[in-house]
Copies of this chain bind each other. A is one copy, B any other.
């Protein structure tokens, strides 16, 4: 599926920008650096520009320290945007789009096709999968550094080969990455065995508030602003905590109520099998997907918890 035009355009260019979305994740960093390291091997002059800092856990990836902020002006022959559903998500880096031909490479289903060439494969589990296929078209050998970048993109965007985007192609590519030297347990250690102390304390605190409703089909937890501040937690420490509630036997809907400011509550919604939590979140001005959604509401924590739980019970009763 890799467009020959894309390969030719890259081969014919020398100064190449690589851009991606704000708040970088494993697929974003992994894809950018896999491409960067490949272009270096091809004697090109690539530059990865990202608005935000590289998260600590991805700094082991080769040349992560070469990534720059969107501060200076550059001359580019070609701009490649990776893993970015629309141009707005580029943040300040959006300004480089005018610098040359734009190749937009992504796997998000709602990609707005903002590039001059758009290489969109919604069946790919990660943008790193598409980048892998692209690199295979180049006249270079895969090496362990490139493969570790691709592996990082795949393992993080599939939730460890778990989400419904995981296909046989995902596993075939992963097999090839291991054949080229990737040692999965070493990468798992770096990526997944690196929780902050604050995160663990926040998990402990949240679990202590676990409440079950409607024959244990609903499990909810709260995080008060006070406990968040006392622990000294960061926003990213909240990631994944709601899954502890969802992953309990018999639970269909999990809810996490987080007081982000006095009188301002952020609600996370997850469902396991059949409840459309996007619908519930929309009732409260939020949204998301069928099995994962969110909303922010003004009000008192306990009142909101009760109100949302009542609404979910109504949906479960249908």
Contact = CB atoms under 8 A, between A and B. Distances in A.
Interface of A: 160-164, 166-172, 174-176, 178-179, 183-185, 188-189, 192-197, 200-201, 203-204, 207-208, 210, 212, 216, 244-249, 272-273
Contacts of A197: 212, 216, 248-249
A185 B210 contact: no
A273 B188 CA distance: 12
Contacts of A245: 200
Interface hub of A183, A204, A216 (most chain B Cβ within 10 A): A204
A101 to B, nearest CB: 35
Interface hub of A164, A174, A184, A189 (most chain B Cβ within 10 A): A184
B192 A247 contact: yes
Given A196-B248, A207-B204, A162 B178 contact: no
Contacts of A201: 207, 210
**Copies of chain A in the complex:** 2
Contacts of A175: 168-172, 175
Interface hub of A171, A203, A272, A273 (most chain B Cβ within 10 A): A171
A185 B171 contact: no
A145 to B, nearest CB: 18
A162 B184 contact: yes
Contact of A208 (B164, B208, B249): B208
Contacts of A164: 183-185
Contacts of A185: 162-164, 166
A164 to B, nearest CB: 4
A246 to B, nearest CB: 7
Contact of A161 (B160, B172, B196): B160
A222 to B, nearest CB: 14
A249 B194 contact: yes
Contacts of A208: 204, 208
